[in-house]
């Protein structure tokens, strides 16, 4: 087996050998773990965040301009917190949806093709409509969505409508939004609507595509809002938010509902499809929803009591019952509001929002142990709580959170008048088994055998990696192994048409994790090319010079072309060894059928399989009768019947004997194999007079 060469090459970010505690700001992100961006002279806020498959961070919200007011905003950041200049204009995209309208994007999704769908509201001064928009992955407007890229929806005529959340059903691609339709500042209905993937209301959902998720007459006199929702594989929609009881002393309650895929309330959830929960004293608002493995609702939000707010979380079973009271968490002595929630790679709950007072707030982050416990995770900054401020701004609030595959936590919101992001370490000890192989993709084929890049993602806390490459899945025949401090390298000098398996494990200097892999790739073969000219079954090909061509075989260093009059290449074939995918051959015979084939080599010694064989016919040779006027050669017998012997000094090995009819057409040819004399078989010739030419000398032959 040929030994391969592994060249160390930096592909990913730097490796930190010293792990910081979980909950620490990730100093590899932005400036000490923080990023502040300003795209306008007015107020800017990031309301939503999402991760692309490549790890880039997309945030959405609004930016305020003097001329157009609040406009939709989307910005994309690289994994190190710098703006991605391949997106929009220098990493950001903004748009005024209607002339001078106030436009706010509250939520977004990324579909399977990488397109970004935004959802929120657009207020033109007279009416506020629910609004959606789709961008291509490069940050340009996708005008195939809705009408010129935009969808406006008036959920209820004359009402003020907005969307707070958008999700996509993975199986159908349908878009589901949640929000409200308000008739006054104190009266609003909770709205769920479903659209096709192209932004058209889905009339198979509640016949109109729009559902007001009320279950009792008193709901019509409440202010209700859907803040978050989830859609599962069977199309059921679970939603959470709040309802405000205007006419009672209880100002607001947690509220949740579940809807069937056809747009009707699911009566297996709390008998009528909806449930509310009110604390004894105070006001509760639900802002986020996570479904656990049992499809129980985990709702995050806040409770306000006597002027103080705390993070709040409540569990509602999948049948719509509340097994216990809500849980309360304080991050500061005054105002703590959780606006978003997700789970990390270990199933722990991460709640984010603001922590502080009415005049001074910081990003607030709380991590809880898994569902059923919901106790503070003391491994996260000692008590499960972290607060972060930016610059000298007094007001800092976090609106959304995402967790990366490496368990790092990205929080987005605003600081002062600017968009703000920060990233925390999710794990305080090395996670040596938590990373992924990246490229080449598993089971990829037609990979270069000259050089191939191997890469993988970072394992948290790792300071080194060990790479193994083998020609069998059990790694009994390892062709290369080595320890590296980077996230990839270049593998070279592989064999063509060969399957390889590779795996990687990480270490922190003291311990090694388990191997991740094995992944398989197959190199391209030495028959990855095609013959081109002369085309198969070509006729009338010039025999003086024939140009043979074929396509390039990736990685080939040379070729072997064989040409013969025998389809089995068993007579006296012509062999040539060009280094390029072309070869010219001269002095072929006229009126002759030839066969040709080519094979490629990666080292000039070993060759791949033959490609071909193709066939072509050369054109007939012609000569003027006036040129054949010398009777020099001796022919006997003459007249002849089935054979004739040609003698003379010009009869030399390698010369060609040609026989022409009276019209000057060459009807037979043969290469001379002996000096001075050559026997010709003429039994296939018709009776008549012929001219026999050797070189420039001609004799006359009579065939009986």
Within this chain, do residues 635 and 652 fall inside the same structural domain, yes or no? yes
For residue 544, being part of any structural domain is answered with: yes
Per-residue model confidence (pLDDT) at position 650 = 80
Within this chain, do residues 551 and 519 fall inside the same structural domain, yes or no? no
Within this chain, do residues 603 and 685 fall inside the same structural domain, yes or no? no
Average pLDDT over residues 331-352: 94
Within this chain, do residues 494 and 543 fall inside the same structural domain, yes or no? no
Within this chain, do residues 499 and 566 fall inside the same structural domain, yes or no? no
Per-residue model confidence (pLDDT) at position 635 = 85
Question: Do residues 195 and 132 lie in contact, with contact meaning Cβ atoms separated by under 8 Å?
Answer: yes
Per-residue model confidence (pLDDT) at position 544 = 85
The Cα–Cα gap between 228 and 47 comes to 13
Within this chain, do residues 468 and 547 fall inside the same structural domain, yes or no? no
Other beta carbons within 10 angstroms of residue 304's beta carbon come to: 18
Average pLDDT over residues 624-630: 44
Average pLDDT over residues 64-85: 97
Average pLDDT over residues 146-155: 97
The Cα–Cα gap between 525 and 1 comes to 17
Average pLDDT over residues 581-598: 92
**Residue 580's domain spans which residues?**
531-618
- Residue closest to 84 by CA, chosen among 117, 43, 40, 54: 54
Per-residue model confidence (pLDDT) at position 248 = 61
For residue 196, being part of any structural domain is answered with: no
Q: Among residues 589, 618, 647, which one ends one of the domains?
A: 618
Phi first, then psi, for residue 114 (nearest 5°) are 90, 5
For residue 308, being part of any structural domain is answered with: no
SS3 619: coil
Kind and range of the H or E element at 473?
none
Within this chain, do residues 658 and 582 fall inside the same structural domain, yes or no? no
E-strand ranges in 160-208 read: 160-168, 175-182, 188-195
Q: Quickly list DSSP for 292-325.
A: -TT--EEEEEEEEETTEEEEEEEEE-TTS---S-
CATH number of the structural domain spanning residue 489: 2.60.40.10
For residue 96, being part of any structural domain is answered with: no
The Cα–Cα gap between 603 and 666 comes to 44
Within this chain, do residues 516 and 435 fall inside the same structural domain, yes or no? yes
Write the DSSP symbol of residue 149. Answer: T
For residue 586, being part of any structural domain is answered with: yes
Q: Is 36 a residue whose pLDDT tops 90? A: yes
Domain count, the chain: 3
Phi first, then psi, for residue 625 (nearest 5°) are -60, -30
Q: Among residues 567, 585, 618, which one ends one of the domains?
A: 618
Q: Is 13 a residue whose pLDDT tops 70? A: no
165-205 tens-digit pLDDT: 999 999 999 999 999 999 998 899 999 999 999 999 999 99
For residue 225, being part of any structural domain is answered with: no
How far from each other are the two terminal CA atoms of the chain, in whole angstroms? 67
Per-residue model confidence (pLDDT) at position 584 = 94
Confidence of residue 83 (pLDDT cuts 50, 70, 90): very high
Per-residue model confidence (pLDDT) at position 633 = 66
Within this chain, do residues 614 and 640 fall inside the same structural domain, yes or no? no
Confidence of residue 429 (pLDDT cuts 50, 70, 90): low
Q: Among residues 477, 492, 523, which one ends one of the domains?
A: 523
Within this chain, do residues 646 and 687 fall inside the same structural domain, yes or no? yes
Q: Is 630 a residue whose pLDDT tops 50? A: no
In the predicted model, what is the mean pLDDT of the chain?
90
Question: Do residues 516 and 437 lie in contact, with contact meaning Cβ atoms separated by under 8 Å?
Answer: yes
Range among 225-234, 279-288, 388-397 rated most confident: 225-234
501-529 tens-digit pLDDT: 999 999 988 889 999 999 999 999 999 99
Confidence of residue 10 (pLDDT cuts 50, 70, 90): very low
Confidence of residue 571 (pLDDT cuts 50, 70, 90): confident
- Residue closest to 248 by CA, chosen among 270, 278, 272: 278
Within this chain, do residues 505 and 551 fall inside the same structural domain, yes or no? no
How many C-alpha atoms does 695 have within 13 Å on its Cβ side? Answer: 14
For residue 422, being part of any structural domain is answered with: no
Percent of the chain with pLDDT over 90: 69
Q: Is 616 a residue whose pLDDT tops 50? A: yes
CATH number of the structural domain spanning residue 668: 2.60.40.3080
Within this chain, do residues 560 and 599 fall inside the same structural domain, yes or no? yes
For residue 492, being part of any structural domain is answered with: yes
Per-residue model confidence (pLDDT) at position 140 = 97
């Amino acid at each position: 087996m040929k030994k391969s060469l592994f060249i160390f090459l930096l592909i990913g970010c730097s490796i930190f050998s010293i792990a910081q505690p979980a909950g620490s700001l990730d100093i590899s992100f932005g400036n000490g773990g923080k990023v502040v961006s300003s795209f306008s002279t007015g107020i800017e806020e990031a309301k939503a965040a999402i991760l692309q498959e490549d790890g880039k961070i997309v945030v959405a919200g609004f930016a305020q301009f003097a001329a157009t007011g609040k406009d939709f905003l989307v910005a994309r950041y690289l994994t190190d917190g710098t703006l991605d200049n391949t997106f929009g204009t220098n990493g950001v995209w903004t748009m005024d949806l209607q002339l001078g309208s106030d436009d706010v994007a509250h939520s977004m999704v990324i579909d399977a093709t990488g397109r970004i769908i935004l959802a929120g509201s657009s207020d033109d001064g007279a009416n506020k409509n629910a609004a959606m928009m789709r961008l291509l992955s490069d940050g340009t407007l996708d005008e195939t969505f809705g009408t010129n890229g935009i969808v406006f929806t008036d959920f209820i005529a004359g009402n003020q409508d907005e969307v707070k959340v958008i999700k996509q059903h993975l199986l159908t691609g349908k878009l589901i939004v949640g929000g409200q339709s308000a008739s006054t500042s104190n009266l609003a209905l909770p709205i769920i609507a479903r659209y096709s993937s192209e932004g058209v209301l889905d009339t198979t959902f509640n016949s109109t595509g729009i559902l007001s998720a009320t279950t009792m007459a008193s709901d019509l006199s409440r202010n209700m809002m859907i803040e978050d929702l989830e859609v599962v594989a069977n199309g059921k929609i679970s939603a959470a938010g709040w309802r405000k009881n205007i006419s009672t002393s209880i100002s607001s309650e947690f509220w949740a509902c579940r809807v069937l895929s056809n747009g009707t309330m699911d009566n297996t959830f709390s008998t009528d499809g909806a449930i509310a929960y009110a604390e004894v004293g105070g006001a509760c608002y639900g802002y986020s929803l996570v479904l656990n493995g049992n499809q129980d609702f985990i709702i995050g939000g806040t409770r306000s009591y006597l002027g103080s707010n705390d993070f709040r979380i409540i569990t509602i079973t999948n049948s719509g019952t509340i097994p216990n009271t809500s849980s309360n968490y304080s991050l500061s002595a005054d105002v703590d509001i959780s606006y978003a929630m997700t789970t990390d790679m270990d199933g722990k709950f991460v709640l984010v929002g603001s922590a502080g007072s009415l005049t001074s707030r910081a990003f607030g982050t709380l991590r809880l142990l898994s569902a059923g416990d919901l106790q503070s995770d003391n491994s996260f900054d000692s008590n499960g709580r972290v607060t972060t401020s930016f610059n000298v701004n007094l007001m800092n609030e976090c609106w959304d959170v995402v967790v990366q595959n490496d368990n790092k936590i990205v929080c987005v919101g605003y600081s002062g008048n600017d968009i703000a992001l920060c990233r925390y370490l999710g794990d305080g000890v090395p996670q040596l088994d938590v990373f992924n192989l990246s490229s080449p993709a598993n089971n990829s084929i037609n990979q270069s055998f000259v050089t191939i890049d191997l890469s993988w993602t970072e394992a948290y806390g790792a300071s080194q990696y060990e790479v193994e490459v083998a020609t069998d899945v059990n790694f009994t025949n390892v062709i290369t192994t080595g320890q590296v401090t980077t996230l990839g390298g270049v593998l070279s000098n592989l064999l063509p048409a060969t399957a390889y398996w590779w795996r990687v494990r990480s270490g922190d200097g003291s311990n090694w994790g388990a191997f991740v892999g094995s992944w398989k790739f197959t190199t391209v073969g030495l028959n990855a090319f095609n013959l081109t000219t002369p085309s198969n079954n070509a006729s009338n090909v010039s025999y003086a010079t024939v140009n043979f061509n074929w396509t390039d075989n990736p990685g080939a260093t040379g070729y072997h072309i064989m040409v013969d009059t025998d389809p089995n290449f068993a007579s006296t074939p012509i062999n040539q060894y060009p280094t390029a995918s072309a070869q010219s051959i001269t002095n072929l015979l006229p009126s002759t059928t030839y066969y040709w084939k080519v094979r490629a080599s990666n080292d000039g010694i070993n060759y791949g399989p033959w490609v071909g064989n193709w066939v072509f016919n050369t054109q007939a040779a012609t000569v003027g009768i006036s040129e054949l006027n010398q009777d020099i050669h001796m022919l006997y017998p003459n007249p002849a019947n089935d054979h004739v012997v040609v003698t003379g000094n010009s009869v030399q090995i390698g010369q060609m004997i040609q026989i022409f009819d009276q019209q000057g057409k060459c009807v037979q040819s043969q290469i001379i194999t002996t000096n001075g004399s050559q026997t010709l078989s003429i039994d296939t010739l018709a009776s008549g007079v012929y001219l026999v030419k050797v070189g420039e000398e001609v004799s006359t032959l009579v065939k009986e």
